[in-house]
Structure 1
Amino acid sequence: MPSSVIKRSEYDPERQVLTIWFLPSGRAYDYRDVPPKVYDRLRQATSKGRFFNAHIRDHYPFTQRDTVTG
């Protein structure tokens, strides 16, 4: 289901890094130490923004990427 907040997400299971691009800015953030089951639940969430706020934001360390892509 599309999101009004999240433009795109990618997950690297080996590194357990979840990258999320946000709307409308296009800014990307890498969230570290995210278990695969959390990424699966994000993908299945009816409201990805609500899931992100409740289960990822403020729960995992992150860094902002230097470039805006996506």
Structure 2
Amino acid sequence: MLRARRLHSSLIDRIAHDDASDTLTVWFKGRGKYLYHAVPRALYDALKTAESAGKLFNDQIKGRYPCEPDPARRRHRPD
């Protein structure tokens, strides 16, 4: 079970990590929910305490891990 944690960030609203699959779930402000695969728990922990979660995300996660929009929300997005 995922337990989401809110962040004080201008980019990210909430994050959650599934230890069983090493999946980081990120809820972006105004952009929806995305799943990042093979993300170590240590990066989730670092995001929780980062002075700038957005900077850490851009420097350490974005473009480095496989990503997909939340599949459950696919039906609600425009084509």
TM-score tier, shorter chain, comes to 0.7 to 0.9
More helix by share: 2
Hey, what's the Cα distance between the residues in 1 that align with 2:18 and 2:43?
12
With the length of structure 1 as denominator, give the TM-score of the two structures.
0.87
Runs of at least 4 residues off by over 3 Å: none
Q: CA RMSD in A?
A: 1.4
How many residues of Structure 1 are paired with residues of Structure 2 in the alignment?
A: 67
Which of 18, 24, 32 is the equivalent residue of 1:12?
18
With the length of structure 2 as denominator, give the TM-score of the two structures.
0.78
Structure 1 position 44, deviation (Å): 1.1
Higher relative contact order (CA 8 A, sep 6+): 1
